[in-house]
Amino acid sequence: MNVTDAIRNRRSIRHYQEGFVIPQEEIRLILEAAMMAPSARNTRPWEFFVVTDPAVKDSLVNAHPYAKHLKEASLGIVVCGRPDLQNGTDNDFWPQDCGAAVENILLQALELGYGSCWCGIHPEKKRVAAFQEILNTQSVPLALVTIGVSKETPPRRGFYDEKRVTFL
């Protein structure tokens, strides 16, 4: 699959075939793709939690009102920001850097034949605190990405809107 097709075929999937186990080498490919994302000054201010344990999934579902589909998904990847890795700069670019990593996760999962869905965590303070407690981390949970074999094919929702473009 080329990048043009991947971008246009990606969908947010909220219904998965239960019980499918994603092979470890494919999980590694997905995480490698995430870590290939650009980051300000190459600080790579991120860490990732791969969640497959049903009890942890349940805890995360209870902490996130829009992530019920994590229960059906093969796994969830929580992308967390590490502002402390920005080398003492005043530039808080970690949300953009982690967002780029999330997009790479979505596209790599699609290329491997999986559906995925990006569920925001940061900047919702209660959600961030709940995820930090469940994951036992001081890093800042930015997003939960659910991944698995899709049970649905939603229509495309993105489109080119010429009114939002200015050529100078």
31: part of which helix (H) or strand (E)? helix 24-35
pLDDT at 88: 66
Distance CA 115, CA 8 (A): 14
Neighbours of 67 (CB within 10 A): 23
pLDDT tens figures, 51-69: 999 999 999 999 999 999 9
What's the one-letter identity of residue 140?
V
Domains and CATH numbers, the chain: 3-153 (3.40.109.10)
Helix (H, G, I), strand (E, B), or coil: what is residue 65? coil
What Cα–Cα distance (Å) separates residue 127 from each residue in 34, 60, 83, 95, 114? 22, 9, 18, 16, 26
pLDDT at 1: 83
pLDDT tens figures, 85-95: 887 666 789 99
53: part of which helix (H) or strand (E)? none
Distance CA 67, CA 26 (A): 23
pLDDT tens figures, 21-42: 999 999 999 999 999 999 998 9
CB 16 within 8 A of CB 150: yes
The pLDDT of residue 84 is above 80 = yes
* Mean of pLDDT over the chain: 96
The pLDDT of residue 110 is above 80 = yes
